[in-house]
Copies of this chain bind each other. A is one copy, B any other.
């Protein structure tokens, strides 16, 4: 694809309220979470992952899933999603069915990472999801499946794209209308990303699944986050996940950078003339507010430097 054919607009899912808040050492007050989520929704973000139905004793940071869902505004045009670890999680989530729109099911493409993360083999995870996803579809929920370590595993190294593709197809056939590919510890490089999405798109089209939305979830662990976004754009990918303030992600080793910052992504796309529908100053304000609540400087570049547009 020639660079003059970049997508005209891009969809962004804000994952900070789940992915970011979950990775904070301190539990953020429910009221602060609700306020930040409402602030994010007011920026024009149309997709926000707000919480997760995980066991509260395992992840106390998200133990207030019900309260958060009950408390947030539900402006029209904004789709709220929750992360679902397993069938039990879905059953709990369905008790708040009217308070969200989408579910995010996940697993890792590498055995070691999946084992460490959810204590299951990859086959156990995907089989479980194949039973659970149809229940969510039946409940009228839009389903996304996310495959972690799609571009490499910090324990196993290279992850064969064939393994990732197989999982992606099984997720789609189970009912996911969107499949996300996570570069969980920032191992992807731009050339790999080009080849990866070229193959995924071809295979999905060949399998009659060309309508499935393909989403890229990159981390900035090695500073290549936005370079990988650029590569994905060049391959026609127009759906991304990011986190305001650069919150969350999977910092391996500790101290390393995680998710790409939503405001860095929105800034780059905006400067390139690619529409996101998101108000950049409003997004920066939300990150500044999170920074104040957390009491430490966040990693986002544009939060520190301000957008280019302020110099015009």
A224 within 8 A of B: yes
Inter-subunit contact A301/B226 (CB<8 Å): no
Q: Residue on B with the closest CB to A273?
A: B191
**CB pair A268 B154 closer than 8 Å:** no
Evaluate contact between A225 and B223: CB separation under 8 angstroms: yes
**In the bound complex, CA of A57 to CA of B304 (Å):** 31
Q: How far is the CB of A311 from chain B (nearest CB, A)?
A: 5
Judging by beta carbons under 8 Å apart, are A311 and B152 in contact?
A: yes
Q: Which chain B positions have C-beta within 8 A of A187? A: 308, 311
CB of A271 within 8 A of chain B? yes
Interface-forming stretch among A82-90, A98-106, A248-256? Answer: A248-256
CB < 8 Å neighbour of A226 from B3, B226, B252, B255: B226
Instruction: Provide the bound-state CA to CA distance between A304 and B220, in Å.
Output: 12
Any B CB within 8 A of the CB of A257: yes
Q: Is A306 an interface residue (CB 8 A)?
A: yes
Given contacts A153-B311, A311-B157, A3 and B194 within 8 Å (CB-CB): yes
Chain B CB count within 10 A is highest, among A3, A261, A300, A302, for: A3
The residues of B that contact A230 with a CB separation of less than 8 Å are 190, 227, 230-231
Q: Which residues of A contact B (CB under 8 A)?
A: 3, 6, 152-158, 185-187, 189-192, 194, 220-227, 229-231, 234, 252-253, 255-257, 260-261, 264, 267-268, 271-273, 300-302, 304-308, 311-312
Instruction: List 13 additional A-B contacts (Cβ < 8 Å) besides A252-B305, A255-B304.
Output: A152-B311, A190-B230, A192-B272, A222-B264, A222-B305, A223-B260, A224-B268, A226-B226, A227-B229, A230-B230, A230-B231, A253-B305, A257-B301
Task: Report 6 cross-chain contacts, Cβ distance below 8 Å, ordered by A residue.
Answer: A192-B272, A222-B301, A222-B305, A222-B307, A223-B300, A257-B301
